[in-house]
């Protein structure tokens, strides 16, 4: 436990959230706040989004994820399993379904600042 190691607790935690994860931010914040209280961390959480971006393997075009233009069922499918984006999205330049996710996947801790 952090307090046992004389770190004085965590003060600031910056968490990066990829757009393809489509996290319910209110629920995530609530869960982390509860964890912080239970562990006496007194941490402040800052959340930063990372826009999703794709690169076509066929023609090299890059484009952003535009969920606003998607059917609600497709949005939900990508939310539940981001890898299915390949089944629904195509390169806007050449129409190829062969693309890679360059940015916007995952949830990770970007930085932690502790107190004394």
Instruction: Give the pLDDT band (50/70/90) at residue 6.
Output: very low
> Each residue of 56-106: pLDDT tens digit?
999 999 999 988 888 999 988 887 888 888 899 999 999 999 999 999 988
Domains of the chain: 3-114 (3.30.2320.80)
Report pTM.
0.73
Interatomic CA distance for residues 83 and 35, integer angstroms: 30
In the chain, % helix, strand, coil (3-state, to 5) comes to 35, 30, 35
């Amino acid at each position: 436990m952090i307090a046992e190691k004389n770190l004085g607790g965590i003060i600031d935690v910056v968490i990066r959230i990829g757009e393809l994860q489509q996290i319910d931010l209110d629920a995530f914040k609530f869960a982390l706040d509860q964890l912080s209280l239970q562990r006496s961390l007194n941490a402040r959480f800052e959340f930063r989004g990372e826009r999703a971006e794709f690169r076509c393997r066929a023609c090299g075009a890059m484009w952003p994820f535009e969920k606003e233009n998607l059917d609600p069922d497709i949005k939900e499918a990508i939310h539940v399993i981001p890898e299915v984006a390949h089944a629904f999205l195509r390169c806007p330049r050449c129409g190829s379904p062969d693309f890679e996710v360059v940015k916007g996947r995952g949830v990770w801790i970007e930085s932690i600042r502790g107190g004394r």
